[in-house]
Amino acid sequence: MKDFRPPKLQRKNSETTVTEVLLLNKIYEKPVFVSNVNRKVTGGSMKNYYELQGIDAKAVLFQLRSKNWVRENTNSEALPYLSKSELEELVKSISQFKSSLNKDKLVQLILDYHLENKPNRLSINKFYEVTATGQTIIKKYKNLIWLNENKSNFLMAFSQLKYDEAYFLEHPSIEPETVLIPYYQTRDSGITARLYDYFGDIEKSVNYTLKALAEAFNKDLQFFNSNYADMSAFDGPFSNAAGILEQLQTQLNALNVTSDSMDELLKYVYDNIIINKSALSYQIFLELYESALHLDSQAWDKACDKINAGDNETNHQDSIGHFDVYSLSKSDLLEIRTIIENRLAELNNCIDE
């Protein structure tokens, strides 16, 4: 058997990597010690963050230093991280101490003493500070950083993310909403609703929340029809729909929507999104919507009981017998038309005879 020797993978040449930008921004927010990059100067560990982001901190920091994006702190930069008692001790060693001084005045007194010329006066270990060049990099890739920090606010599964950090590394000037919203509008109404909410378009967020709710009802009904004998076996809005309703009540209150306008919107959603209207009438759709909106499990159960009992008359006037034309396929409708035409022809023949 031949040795398995696949060709060596060639990496893309890139001046900047996603992990470099993320770690640079994190250090700007919370500096870490030079001697122990796992520890923040303000206290606490960075290990979980490194693991979550897949960052080899020592290797990435080596690159950041070589690019002059970070450097070791100056003595003056260390002063804000000292406690008041530590500052008082430092003042005693260099000047006449006054106990009435607050922390800011203690810092200023030490700065006036030109502490940079007395490096051994400080007990705090060295830490990394972001340079002016590094701060320029952070500003340039602000959209990459935004996505990394906020994607969990609107995504349920990161595997659904097409426009990821690498995309915004290559396209730093593209604003996230200009690509994220169009992408998810036809793929996930819940994500689209959360995006619109985040970017401040409350009305569109409400529209897509209701669309997502109706789609959740479709999914629940399909799940019910294929797996259970009655509607009481599934949780409905407390499974598929619950996550998309958290902000809806607040949004509706903020918009101050009239009841007539809301009824019109709900009717539109029902007519255009609900698939099996013979299984879910508009009236019961409204009952499910209200119970889901208020997380009222008893009202939900009552609506499900009506479906189980067959109490599901539709409000559409274009129904044929017990069939709702909205639930019939094109072939079904053609077949019905053929039957009617044939029957009319037979009746006409009888009249002629």
Residue 141 confidence class, pLDDT cut points 50, 70, 90: very high
* Per-residue pLDDT at 317: 39
For the cut 70, the answer to whether the pLDDT of residue 68 exceeds it is yes
Place of tokens 């000047």: 95
For the cut 90, the answer to whether the pLDDT of residue 14 exceeds it is no
* Per-residue pLDDT at 321: 41
Kindly report, residue by residue over 19-45, the tens digit of the pLDDT.
999 999 999 999 999 999 999 998 999
* Per-residue pLDDT at 314: 45
Kindly report, residue by residue over 251-269, the tens digit of the pLDDT.
888 888 888 999 999 999 9
Full-model pTM:
0.69
Give the C-alpha separation, 298 to 306, whole Å: 13
Exposure string of 236-264, with b = 16+ CB inside 10 Å and e = fewer, is bbeebbeebbebbeebeeeeeeeeeeeee
Give the C-alpha separation, 197 to 201, whole Å: 6
Tally of CA atoms within 13 A in the half-sphere of 94 that contains its CB: 23
Mean pLDDT of 72-76: 85
